[in-house]
Chains A and B, each alone.
Chain A
Amino acid sequence: MSVATYSPEEKFRLGMLWTDSRYRSTTIQIIALFIVMLLGAYLINNIITNLAALGKDFNFSFLFEPAYYDINQRLIEYNSRSPHWMAAVVGILNTLLVAVLGCILATIIGVIAGVLRLSKNFVISRLMSVYIEVVRNIPLLLQILLLYAIFIEVLPRPRASEPMLDGMVVATNRGFYIPSLVLGETGWIVVATFLASLAAIWGFRRWAHKRQEETGQITPVFLISLAIFLVPTTVVFFALGSPISLETPELKGFNYQGGIHLRNSLVALWLALSIYTGAFIAEIVRSGIQAISKGQTEAAYALGLRPNRTMNLVILPQALRVIIPPLISQFLNLTKNSSLAIAVGYMDVTGTLGGITLNQTGREMECVLLLMAFYLTVSLTISAVMNKYNASVKLKER
C-alpha cells in the first residue's frame, strides 16, 4: 500500500478571504480601516457643511485678539487688554497651581489616613474608615460646592474678622490672607545660601553613602544634614541684618491689604480635591503596606536590623513598588478633576479657555480642541513618566 502524499495546490478563491485564517485577519483589518475612513469622512463633511451654514471658519487667529475680560486669580501679569492666548496661559498656570498644591496635601492626608487605618488602635482605625467611606461615596462636585458655600456663609466679613496666629492668617468670606515674603536688597544672598546648602546636603549624602559602601563606616547623616540645612542660612540671614521680612495682611477700609490673598474658590477647590483624593490614596497606601508579607519584617529583624532601618531598607522599597503606580494615576485624576473649578468660579484653563473665551468668541471647536489637547498632553506626559518608573522598579527575574 502506498501512501499518496500530495500538497494541495489550492487555488485562491475569494471566499478564502473569510474562511482561511491566513487571510481573515487582514480582511477584518481592511474592513475596519474602510469603516473608520468612511466615518471620518462623514464627520468631517458634516463639520464643513455645518460651519459653512453658520458662516464660520476654522482658525486660531482669535487667540491673538484682546480678551476683554479680567481674571482675578493670576500668577503672571495679565489685564483685560491681553490676548486670549494669555488668558489661556493664566488658566493653565492656575490649573497647575491647584493641581500641585492638591497633590501635595492629598498625599499627606492619604499617607496619614492609610497608616492610621491599619493601626491596632480600634477607635482611630474606625474613625479613618468612616472618613474614607464617606468621602469616597459622595460626589466630588458636591464636596467642592459645599466647602465653598460654607466659606461664604459661615466665615465673617473682613471688618468683623479676627486675625489668627498673631495676625498672620485671616479667614474672611472674601478669602484667606496669609503673610507674604518680602525680599530686601540683599535678600537674594540668603536665598542663594539656602539653595547652596540644599545642594551641599545632597552632595554630602552621596559622599556618606559611597564611604559606607567602601569602608563600612557610618556617618551621622541626619544630624550633619540638619546642621547644613539650618546654620549657614541663619548666619547669613542675621549677618546681613534680616533682609527678608514677612508682610502681614492689614485691615484697610473694607478689605485686607498686603500678604497673599487666597480666594475662597481656590481654597475650597484645593481642600475638597485633597480630601477627596486623600481618601483614595489612603486605600492605596493601606493595600501597599498589606501587600508586604510579614516574613519580610521578621527576616529583617532576624538579620539584626532595627525597626526604622527595616522600614527604610526592606519594607518601604517593596511597598512603594505597589503604591506608586496607582498613586500617580490618582494625581492624574486630581489634575483632571481640578476642571470642576468652573463650578466655583476659580479661573482654571476650563474656566478661561473653555468658558469665557469660548462664549465670547463663539469658537467652540477650536477652544474645546485646545482644551482637550492641554489635558491630553498632561496625561500622556505623566503616563510616560510612570511607564518609565514601572520599568525601572520591575522585579528583575534571573
Chain B
Amino acid sequence: MTKDSSIAFVLKEPKEAEPAPIATTGALAWTRENLFSSRLNTALTILSLLFLAWMIPGLVQWTFVDAVWFANSIDECRQLSPGGACWAVITARFDQFMFGFYPEELRWRPVLAFVLLGVALLPVLWDAVPARKQLFFFSAIYPLVAFALLWGDGFIFERVNSSDFGGFLLTMIIGVTGISFSLPIGVLLALGRNSNLPFIKLICVTFIEFIRGVPLITLLFVASTLLNYLLPPGTNFDIILRVLIMVTLFASAYMAEVIRGGLAALSKGQYEAADALGLTYWQSMYLIILPQALKISIPGIVNTFIGLFKDTTLVSVIGLLDPLGIIQPILADSTWNGLVVELYAFVGLVFFVFCFAMSRYSMYLERKLSAGDRH
C-alpha cells in the first residue's frame, strides 16, 4: 500500500449527520405545514385566531370573572356586577331544575333511584364488574324498584302526583325508559321488517314508516289529547305514562331502521350457515345474526339514544315541566325577569355533558368490540 502524498487529508470515520434544516422539523415546520401552507390557509388561520382572540376573553370574563354566583334577585346581581353572568338564578332555583315540584321532604327518593340506576347500569356497561350475574338480576327488577321509589306504592312510600315531577328528574325518567325499551322493540321491528312472512313485514313497515314520517310533536299531541279516545271510557291514565309510551314507540321506529342497516350489512353466508347448522329461526338470530348486526349498528344505536335524550325537551310543548318547561315561569317571574342566556346555557351544558359522554362511550365500545376483528 503506497501513500499518496497529494491527498492532504483523509477522513477516517464518517462525519456526524448535520441536523435537518430548521424549517423542516419541529414546531416551526409544523406551523408552516399546518397553518401557513398556502395563502388561503394563512388567511383562515389569521381569521380564526382573530375570532378566538375576540371571543374567549369576553366569554371568560362574562362566565367566570364577573359572574355572580349567589344573590336573591336580578337587581342584586346587577348591582354586584353589571356586566357579568348572573348564575345566582341557577343556584336559587337549583332544586326546581333538578326535581321540579317534587315534595321537598321526599326528594331523597329520586336521588336514591338515581344512585340505584347507576348500580343497575354497572353490569350492562362494564363487563369486568364483580358479581355480574347477581347485579344483572337487580337490573331486571330495577324498573319496579324505581317506579315504587318515584311514584310511591301507597304502602311504604307516600304517593306523589305526576304533575309534581319536573326538571332533570323528568328528563331522566323519559330518557332512561325510552332508551331501555326502544332497543328490544326496535330489534323485534327490524327482524319483522326483514322477515319472509309478508303480513308481519307489512305491519312492521307500516308502523316504522308512519312513525318516522311524522314529527314527534304530533305524537305528543296524540299523547296529550287523543290517547283518551282510544281507551275504554272512564280510563284516565297518567300523562307521564302516555308520553313515555309515545316517546318509546317513536324511538323504537328509528332504532329499527338502524338495526335493519346492521342486518343488511351481514353477508348472506351467515344466514345460510346458521340454517345449515339446523338452528331454529330464534336460535340463529340470538346466537349468530344479532350479536354481529348489533355490533355493526352501535354508532347508530347510540346516536338514536342521544337523539331521544335531546327530544325529551319536546314534552315542554305539551306543558310538562322538564328543564325547558321550568325556565318559562322563571322568565316571567319579576325577581329574575331579564335573565335569558344564563338559564338556557345551564340547561344546554347539562345536556351537552350527558350526550357528549354517550357519544364518547360509543366510540370506546366500538374500539373494544372491533378488537377481535384485527387479526
Contacts and interface: CB of A to CB of B under 8 A. Distances in A.
Interface of A: 25, 28-29, 32-33, 36, 43, 46-47, 49-51, 53, 116, 119-124, 127, 133-134, 136-143, 145-146, 149-150, 153, 336-337, 339-340, 342-343, 350, 354, 358, 364-365, 368, 371-372, 375-376, 379-380
A123 B37 CA distance: 13
Contacts of B351: 137-139, 142
What DSSP secondary structure best describes chain A's contact surface? helix
Interface stretch (B10-18, B75-83, B227-235): B227-235
Contacts of A140: 310
Contacts of A142: 313, 324, 344, 347-348, 351
Contacts of B306: 136-137
Contacts of B222: 368
Nearest to B350: A138
Contact of B233 (A50, A149, A372): A50
A46 B215 contact: no
Contacts of A36: 203
Given A33-B199, A142-B347, A149-B340, A137 B213 contact: no
B210 interface: yes
The 10 tightest CB contacts between A and B, nearest first, are A379-B213, A137-B355, A336-B215, A139-B310, A149-B340, A29-B199, A339-B215, A364-B225, A146-B344, A376-B213
B369 to A, nearest CB: 20
Interface in B305-340: 306, 310-311, 313-314, 316-317, 324, 327, 331, 338, 340
Interface string B205-218: 00001101111111
B112 to A, nearest CB: 27
Contact of A137 (B197, B215, B352): B352
Interface string B333-366: 0000010110010011001100110010000000
A365 B215 contact: no
What DSSP secondary structure best describes chain B's contact surface? helix
A43 B359 contact: no
A310 B171 CA distance: 49
A218 to B, nearest CB: 27
A122 B341 contact: no
B314 A340 contact: yes
Contacts of A336: 214-216
Contacts of B341: 146, 149-150
Given A138-B351, A146-B348, A153-B338, A350 B215 contact: yes
27 contacts: A25-B196, A29-B198, A32-B203, A119-B41, A120-B34, A134-B352, A136-B306, A136-B355, A138-B348, A139-B310, A139-B313, A141-B314, A141-B316, A142-B313, A146-B340, A149-B331, A149-B340, A153-B340, A336-B215, A336-B216, A337-B215, A340-B317, A354-B218, A364-B221, A372-B214, A372-B218, A375-B218
Contact of A339 (B49, B218, B228): B218
Most buried by B among A141, A149, A375: A141
Given A47-B230, A50-B229, A121-B45, A375 B214 contact: yes
B272 to A, nearest CB: 16
A124 B203 CA distance: 48
A24 to B, nearest CB: 10
Most buried by A among B198, B200, B225: B225
B317 A343 contact: yes
Contacts of B214: 336, 371-372, 375-376, 379
Contact of A375 (B52, B197, B213, B344): B213
Nearest to A120: B34
A33 to B, nearest CB: 6
Contacts, number: 158
B197 A25 contact: yes
Contacts of B215: 336-337, 339, 350, 375
Nearest to A44: B230
Nearest to A148: B340
Given A142-B351, A379-B213, A49 B233 contact: yes
Contact of B313 (A50, A136, A141): A141
Contacts of B35: 121-123
Given A51-B229, A137-B306, A368-B221, A149 B316 contact: no
Nearest to A371: B218
B232 A46 contact: yes
Contacts of B198: 29
A123 B199 contact: no
Contacts of A116: 44
A81 to B, nearest CB: 27
Nearest to A49: B233
A139 B306 CA distance: 10
Given A25-B197, A134-B352, A150 B340 contact: yes
A28 B316 CA distance: 42
Most buried by A among B35, B48, B218: B218
A146 to B, nearest CB: 4
B60 to A, nearest CB: 15
Contacts of A51: 229
Contacts of A365: 226, 229
Contacts of B164: none
B344 to A, nearest CB: 4
Given A146-B340, A350-B215, A380 B310 contact: no
B238 interface: no
Nearest to B349: A138
Contact of A368 (B33, B226, B228): B226
B45 A145 contact: no
A322 to B, nearest CB: 14
Nearest to A375: B214
A116 B44 CA distance: 10
A358 B224 CA distance: 13
Interface in B29-51: 33-35, 37, 41, 44-45, 48-49, 51
